[in-house]
Amino acid sequence: MGLVNQVFPQDQFLESVSAYASELANSVSPRSMRIIKHQVYEAMFQTLGEAFDSATAEMQASFGCEDFKEGVAHFLEKRAPSFTGR
């Protein structure tokens, strides 16, 4: 399911987690992070089917957002993203 994709030695844990959090903060759309955090919280109260349906709806909604267009553009243009959160 992708819940764990890295394991760190104890002496490198805080540094590695901090670097990953910094990467997310600098390279992921604020809108996407907001949706992900909301979905993780809501999933505690949903069935798997409900969570899947919610994720599908959010993914479809994201295709029309400014940040989706910026995400594609920055990848194709090989530059840093400039997300607006919209």
pLDDT tens digit sequence for 56-73: 999 999 999 999 999 999
Go through 54-69 and write b for each residue having 16 or more CB atoms within 10 A of its CB, e for each that does not.
beeeeeeeeeebebbe
pTM: 0.70
Residue 29, burial from CB neighbour count under 10 angstroms (0-12, 13-18, 19+): buried
24-39 residue pLDDT tens: 888 889 999 999 999 9
Q: What is the mean pLDDT of residues 35-63?
A: 93
Average pLDDT over residues 40-48: 94
From the CB of residue 37, how many other CB atoms can be counted at a distance below 10 Å?
10
Task: Name the band, by pLDDT with cuts 50, 70 and 90, for residue 85.
Answer: confident
Tokens of 23: 């990467």
Tokens of 53: 């349906």
For residue 60, the model assigns a pLDDT of 94
